[in-house]
Amino acid sequence: MSAASAIETEGLGKRFRGHDAVRDVDLAVPTGSVYGFLGPNGSGKTTTIRMLLGLVNPTAGRAALLGAPMPDRAAAVLPRVGALVEGPGFAGYLSGAANLARLDSADPLAERRTRRRRVADALERVGLSAAASKPVKAYSLGMKQRLGIANALLRPRELLVLDEPTNGLDPQGTREVRTLVRSLADEGTTVFVSSHLLAEIEQMCTHAAVMRSGRLVAQGTLDQLRGAAGDDRVHLRTPDDQAAIAVLARLGLEPGRSGAEVVAPLGGRAVEEVVAALVAAGVRVRGVETARASLEDRFVALTGEGFDVGS
């Protein structure tokens, strides 16, 4: 498997009681990317993540983290990986700082003499310094999410795997997590983010993958997933609708109407070429705009289901 990929899988699959929860997944997560992992509920995202981290053994295929095969090399590679999967679990009667110290003490590679400073730094990084001494049972869900991220950041990590990291966060908390993820990527950490919030993925990620019914249906950069220029559409305002539709059809496009406009996918053609053909045919053009298919449009087309787009 390629050293240029922080995460790579080939034919990865998991079968539960005769049912394929995940099947034939070939992931390629570039080193240094912020990679969004998307899909409707039940699409196999969390099962895939659990296989990547060695928490569940695959029944088919193979996976590698940071170039090391999993789960065979888990003991060697996982200290370089931070993870927050299926929500954090903490002792409610302990403070946030005490919970982190307790978890850090269970790490045989963690340095005891620097523990207090590392706990304080991790809490500060996720905006929980003021709540460090408060018992976790008094934390909101969003605060627990941030504490889980702090736990993943107790040591420097080359790869961070976050399962729904903004779950339960208010808009301010969501922005803080987004900023944190970007800062980690700027420092060279690869961040793998499972989410159902398209707006967050668009603002946070450089790459993304889409799961549907246990299968990987698309992956690439955000522009590649949107379809880049091939999905651009022209919106035309003209009093000569029928003539415009005829010209667009002769160009090999598939025109239609949207309200008072004539609309057609450009199919890679330059909008200037289309307008020139319309004018040459005597079509009066009152206005023309181009619009790119949104990430939401693309994901709905890929999965047949809607996604949450808010935060």
Q: What are the mean pLDDT values of the chain's consecutive 10-residue runs (311 residues total)?
A: 81 91 95 92 90 94 95 92 82 96 89 94 92 95 88 92 83 83 90 85 90 91 71 87 93 85 84 92 92 70 55 39
pLDDT of residue 2: 53
pLDDT of residue 223: 80
> Are 274 and 126 members of one domain?
no
pLDDT of residue 8: 96
Beta-carbon contacts of residue 167 (< 8 Å; ≥ 6 apart)? 87, 141, 145
> Are 178 and 271 members of one domain?
no
pLDDT of residue 170: 80
Asked if 62 and 55 touch (Cβ cutoff 8 Å), the reply is no
pLDDT of residue 41: 79
The first and second tokens of residue 126, run together, are 């996720």
Residue 311 forms part of a structural domain: no
pLDDT of residue 205: 92
Residue 299 forms part of a structural domain: no
Domain edge (last residue) among 178, 205, 226: 226
Asked if 132 and 92 touch (Cβ cutoff 8 Å), the reply is no
Residue 297 forms part of a structural domain: no
- Decide: residue 213, CB within 10 A, 0-12 exposed, 13-18 middle, 19+ buried: middle
Number of C-beta neighbours around residue 163 at 10 A: 21
Amino acid present at 188? G
- Paired with 38 in beta bridges are 195, 210
User: 271 is in which domain, residue-wise?
Assistant: 228-292
| pTM score above 0.85 | no
pLDDT of residue 201: 84
Asked if 166 and 174 touch (Cβ cutoff 8 Å), the reply is yes
The first and second tokens of residue 79, run together, are 């200290």
Asked if 241 and 257 touch (Cβ cutoff 8 Å), the reply is yes
Residue 303 forms part of a structural domain: no
The first and second tokens of residue 203, run together, are 């603002």
Asked if 8 and 1 touch (Cβ cutoff 8 Å), the reply is yes
Domain edge (last residue) among 226, 255, 277: 226
